[in-house]
């Protein structure tokens, strides 16, 4: 049975990847390693937690002794590395946490994989590192990020992810470690921790709270449905070429303010409110430090070489996402009952 370690599997993207692999590949044993910080939630995986080919392991990727012993004990065939601190606002306030987890944690995993595969490396071994489009910096009004775009990170978060990407490539070139990297655009969908834009707005609209919009809301992002991202990870993991990078994008650019108006309209209909009610909650706040203007990914390489493409139009995916949050109030109340509300209230009260 192929043994695959997925780090950060209790988080937003990771839980969807775990579910896909556990259900689709019964001949794989999937090990979910997660520290269970504020964004890690095992209730994301209650539907597969008792599957015979799934094991949860609580642990920290920055604990070198623990990681080394774990790899020695289980001897994983492959690693899909999603564990990361990922919220830009938090990185501005607490940069060392991002540097420690995203750079040091990745290096520890790479060393552990290198040590285990040094004598027994086979074609089934791969260290697949999931990254972000934010490492490329900011685009103007035209053009797209490609796999050849130079790195130009602008926040502690994106710089820490850029650093981890460089480490992964260095281990491939220096030690011939079999690696793959993918850089994805903004994800949305079920189970996302509600400090990110879309679930934050859903939560605030539902509770008639102000909808904080940075600057004039003109920053542009490319949005990718999380289940489509999980499908892309599956495709790249099984068919990608070692040493290569693949960009995963939704081909779906939206200004933040336009997205929020669309979300308000969807919520008004689903909550049976008069049209325009939710939009009245929009509140413009001071722009975020180092806020990149535009991200847009060209996923052409992934489409042409591996045949992946996004499956949903944004309006459809957004409607499904709203439905999930409205139907899972227990999950939302659980994750918003502690640090999240305190954190966000404190930050926005400072603005």
Q: Are 12 and 193 in contact (CB under 8 A)?
A: yes
What does 62-87 look like in DSSP terms, one character per residue? T-HHHHHHHHHHH--SEEEE------
Instruction: Write the burial class of residue 111 (CB in 10 Å: 0-12 exposed, 13-18 middle, 19+ buried).
Output: middle
User: Which distant-in-sequence residues (6+ apart) come within 8 Å of 159 by Cβ?
Assistant: 153
* Token pair of 13 as six digits: 């993207």
Count the helices and strands in the chain (H runs, E runs): 13, 12
Residue 71 token pair:
């790899």
Helix axes 197-206, 314-327, angle to 10 degrees: 50
Residue 275 in tokens? 């049209």
Residue from 18, 6, 5 nearest 227 by CA: 18
3-state secondary structure of 225: strand
Which active-site residues does the annotation give? 133-134, 157
Nearest to residue 3, comparing CAs of 72, 61, 49?
72
Distance CA 80, CA 14 (A): 9
- Quickly list H helices, the chain: 12-24, 64-74, 88-93, 95-98, 105-120, 156-175, 197-206, 226-239, 256-270, 300-306, 314-327, 329-335, 339-349
How far does the chain reach from its first CA to its final CA, in angstroms? Answer: 53
- Is residue 247 within 8 Å of residue 135, measured between CB atoms? no
The sheet that has 220-225: what strands, in order across it? 186-188, 220-225, 253-255
């Amino acid at each position: 049975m192929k043994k695959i370690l997925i780090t950060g599997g209790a988080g937003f993207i990771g839980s969807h990847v775990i579910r896909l692999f556990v259900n689709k590949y019964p001949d794989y044993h999937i090990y979910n390693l997660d520290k269970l910080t504020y964004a890690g939630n095992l209730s994301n995986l209650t539907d597969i937690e008792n599957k015979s080919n799934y094991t949860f392991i609580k642990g920290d990727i920055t604990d070198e002794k623990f990681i080394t012993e774990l790899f020695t004990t289980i001897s994983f065939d492959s690693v899909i590395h999603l564990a990361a601190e990922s919220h830009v606002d938090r990185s501005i306030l607490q940069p060392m946490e991002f540097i420690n987890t995203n750079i040091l944690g990745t290096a520890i995993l790479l060393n552990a994989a290198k040590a285990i595969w040094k004598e027994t490396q086979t074609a089934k071994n791969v260290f697949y590192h999931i990254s972000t489009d934010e490492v490329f910096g900011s685009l103007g009004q035209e053009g797209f990020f490609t796999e050849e775009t130079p790195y130009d990170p602008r926040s502690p978060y994106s710089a820490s992810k850029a650093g981890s990407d460089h480490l992964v490539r260095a281990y491939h070139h220096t030690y011939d470690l079999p690696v793959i990297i993918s850089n994805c655009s903004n994800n949305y969908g079920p189970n996302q921790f509600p400090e990110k834009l879309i679930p934050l707005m859903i939560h605030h609209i539902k509770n008639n709270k102000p909808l904080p919009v940075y600057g004039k809301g003109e920053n542009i992002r490319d949005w990718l449905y999380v289940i489509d991202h999980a499908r892309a990870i599956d495709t790249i993991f099984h068919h990608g070429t070692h040493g290569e990078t693949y960009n995963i994008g939704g081909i779906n650019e939206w200004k933040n303010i336009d997205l929020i108006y669309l979300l308000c309209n969807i919520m008004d209909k689903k909550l049976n409110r008069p049209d325009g009610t939710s939009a009245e909650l929009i509140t413009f706040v001071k722009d975020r430090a180092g806020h990149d203007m535009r991200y847009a990914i060209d996923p052409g390489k992934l489409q042409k070489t591996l045949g992946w493409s996004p499956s949903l139009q944004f309006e459809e995916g957004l409607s499904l996402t709203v439905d999930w949050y409205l139907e899972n109030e227990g999950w939302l109340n659980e994750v918003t009952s502690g640090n999240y509300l305190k954190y966000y209230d404190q930050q926005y009260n400072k603005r």
